[in-house]
Structure 1
Amino acid sequence: MSTTILNTAKTDNLFELARDLLSQKNLASLLEKINEITVLSGAAKDFILSVFEPETQSFRSYIFRADTAAALLPRETPVRAAQGPLQQLIKEGKSQYWQSEAYRSRYPDDLLPQLCPDFGDYCLFPLETSLGLVGACEFTRTQGRLFNEEQKQWLQRLMTWVALCLEQLNWQQQVLQEQRQLRHERDDFRVLVDVTNAVLSERDLDDVILEMTQAIQCYFPITTLSIVLGQSGEDQLKVYSTCFIPDAPSVRNFYQLSRDNSLEDSVLRSGEVVHRPLHSSDRMTQDERALFERYLAQSQTLSIIPLRFGQKTLGVLKLVELDSQQQNLPLLQQIAERIAIAVNNAQAYQEITALKEKLVHENMYLIEQSHDSHPDFSEIVGRSAAMSAVLKQVEVVAKSDCSVLILGETGTGKELIARAIHNLSERRSQRMVKMNCAAMPAGLLESDLFGHEKGAFTGATSQRAGRFEMADKGTLFLDEVGEIPLELQPKLLRILQEREFERVGGNKVIVSDVRLIAATNRDLLQMVADKQFRSDLYYRLNVFPIVIPPLRERPEDIPQLVKFLTFKIARRMKRTIDSIPAETLRLLSLMPWPGNVRELENVIERAVLLTQGNVLNLQFDELRFSAAALAEPARGTAVAGDEESDYQRTLRVLKETNGVVSGPKGAAQRLGIKRTTLISRMKKWGISTKAGE
């Protein structure tokens, strides 16, 4: 081979050598080829190839020895620190030729005499292309063998091709680097697209975190991942944590973390990213600690990245990776930006949903109370002595803020009394929220009273405010309070005493300023004796008891109630009823009314529905009361149908009908009696019958 090369050198035919050089695919094979052409052929004993690195502005040198034919001592020399011939080359850009003595004298501190102690002759050639200096190549020979001009020229021409080879390898390296960068960016883009699609398609915060966790776990070797959320003014951070246990389902947890001295809070406040090895002294949950110890032999990197949206920091993304590299951090920061957008959207959706639900409840209560804008007793009909005493009690207690316990049978109007107390109180500008404890299943009663957090129980898909929150600064009316389960009574007692509570499934203390009005038809004192009702709660409720008398104990209010109910129901049904027979009023006043005013209202509603004309037509034979109940007037009854009142009423109706007795508009029809009965009464009382003839 050496003979061929030397013959080639003599004829200056370097094309074959150039083809061999340009066919090399990497720097290592190029060095081997230069070694083959020069050192192994005897053209030189040793050579040093120094490749210029533009990015680092330095020379990387490779040294070949004839006796080893292998690269020795790769070294990197910054341009500014270059010494010896390289320094001279940078200044002048020319080839250099030195014999050993002259070299050692010119460059006494250079390392070449140490690397090649037996060199006798030395030459250096710059490797230049149209783009500038790409490197340099140094050759040495042993003592007594000098480079002649022909050899120097041949080496000079050979170095021209070596320079082109280096330029070609640089271009190839640059293309490969760009390809790797493009693949890396493509992969990063795919990750970002997948994470973005996963998190932005969900509106619920739990779903956002679940989808985000699963998407990130597909691309990174993470062992634990947490989303930590916090708002200014709160002492606790909300942590949604997931631990990825090998060969087992991942473990998801939610807990609250104290802000004090926590690394998460430090990042949340400063906005600075933490990216460092995970230490055993770092705060971890039990599951996180178990995974840390499981992978103790591998390097584990802790990354905490702030979740910023606009000008605010919502929380942090915290994860632990195995064998993590710094190059992952920019991608994780971009992922954190998208997570912040999704978290902000989910929180906004959560707030909007809560506000909509609150507005629905407020609207419901406002509709129910829209007719209560004037605080008076307009809905409470009856001025009997018993009712007058009740109304005086209402006026006395309304101005205070104490709890009220309304006692009375079913249908006596306990809610009306409660509403009157609220309307006459200082809280009348706020809502009165009502709740029937008997109508709510025992399992949902606590949630309805105190609200619940999302996920507190099956079906709790969103956070919900309870009645105590909705009634804040106003009044809460608890009807049928005796139906509250015994196990729930301590929580009700606590809010009455301390004005604070927690939602179901939550631990945040909520303060509520509520005036409580309770009502029941049960004997609470007997329930206390039977251990069915707490005595301390009873005494807390029974600060000011009001007992509403049943309807049978105030029959003198029945005629007025009948008239009020008749006209109210007729107006609602768009009917016209302007007269109620006196006999009807008398008979209604004699009935016992076990269902009280509610039962009376139902009877009147049926009568209005069946009435054809403008006189109330009530069929007594359809009522379930026995004849014996009507035989004797109830105690204290003021009979509405005595002779004097019947006489006056008959005169009035005859006058209103211009003496017409019979017919659809006659007096008999309006009085609710037969024509013959009316004529008989007129004769008895000496009323002229000419109008009826």
Structure 2
Amino acid sequence: MDISEKAERIRHERDQYRILVDITNSVLSHLEMDGLVAEVSREIYRFFGISQISIALCDNYSSAVYLCYSSYYQRSHPVEKMQYHLNELHPDLTQALDSNQPVRLTLDSATQDPLYRHMCEQGMSETLLLPLAFNHKPLGVLVLSHENKSIFTEDNCNLLKQIAARFAIAVDNAAAYGEITRLKDSLKTENLWLTEQIHRTDSFSEIIFQSEAMRNVLEQVDLVAHSDSTVLILGETGTGKELIARAIHRLSDRHQRTMIKMNCAAVPSGLLESDLFGHDKGAFTGATTTHIGRFEMADKSTLFLDEIGDMPLDLQPKLLRVLQEREIERIGGNKVIPVDVRLIAATNRNLKSMTNDREFREDLYYRLNVFPIVIPPLRERPEDIALLATYFTQKIAQRMNRKIDCIPLDALEQLSRYPWPGNVRELENVIERAVILTRGNTLNLQLHELNIPKPSRLKNALQTPTLLEKRMQTEAPENDDEERDRIIAALKATNGVVAGARGAATRLGLKRTTLLSRMQRLGICVQDLF
């Protein structure tokens, strides 16, 4: 081989490398499938002059369906593009895909094959089938056709094979990007719904709920608020007893004055009497001025005594006298001061059993227990957990000047299985820690720290679906209208909840992602149903 031939060979190899680099850089810059396919078709036509370029790609949601793109280039004519689905791949394309080897075909104008007949009508005479695969995963087939039989030389075929390999990498990247985008959209849709539920729910006085248990509690609040009756709020620690007291005050006729609060467990027993009833100057050592107590401060308003079960036994008769006589005497004073106070007490202790053990006065208990309100623990109203978690995330993120608009749905499902011994307060603390640890816009919940129990197999086995649920799970819809009606019925039955043990996906026997995908395809929006 002389020098000129070597130089020509080097130039030819250089040109091929440039083509390969140009096409590689071009296709790898596209993350959306439609743009990627259009770009690779345009580049192949530009460098090789191939007129008919078709691409059959495996559908991400069904291995039996292929999404096909077709581009037909003619000089002085706009490119003709077509997109369609194939339920069954042509045998020659299947051969190329299964063998992962190129297949070259000479077309016969007399063929009756639908695929090749269409190509022959466009004047094509030669076809090259190039498999698209990445990491041993078949992705589809690149179909190249041309009028000139000499276009597919061995040299061109080798270069096109390398282009197909790089195109397969780009296809895999675009498919992954599409899946990520779809999941993010699904998460945003679910979180937008949760956000709207927070704003649309019957929350008064900062109480976030959608459970029937809390609805019953707030009905009792509404009933007792306009009276002056003493209210005893019972519930475990962290259930929001102060919020309920605040709601009663805001709905009462005393709402124009500030509610006075006092935690009986937080004040030393020696100072509790002075804090409640006040003292005159010189009443005891250190009493250099007159002190106004909480009862006087709450005149014409509401006094909220939290942790009433921790009030010392010797102070309880004085509290009972105030409730009965509506008057107080300051420590060290001899003046009777009338007070008009509405009392709301709260405790996480069992006052009835305390009276039996002589740890709490029975007469005071009955005086306080005029209208008891029992707040259910969070574990008894799991349907409120997702709303509360979303609300706390927004509130805490805003306070920290952070933007967090996404909570993973599987994390919300796990939160609903946790018993929450600290109730709403514990949930808020967990969310606050997660906001601090979050670096992006998706909440970083540290679920492993909660030791969340796994779902019991026995419990799942005992939860037998109803006849309607069985029918929804087993009968396949005959058309889109029937499937749409079935999904809407499930969403209405679950109050719009998609995921979780009580969600529409479980009722339909579908994965959450599958249901969200079908809802998007059928144009079903949860917000439009309620």
- After TM superposition, the score normalised by the length of structure 2 is 0.50
Bigger Rg, structure 1 or 2 = 1
Query: Which of 1 and 2 has higher RCO (CA within 8 Å, sep 6+)?
Result: 2
More helix by share: 2
TM-score normalized by the length of structure 1: 0.38
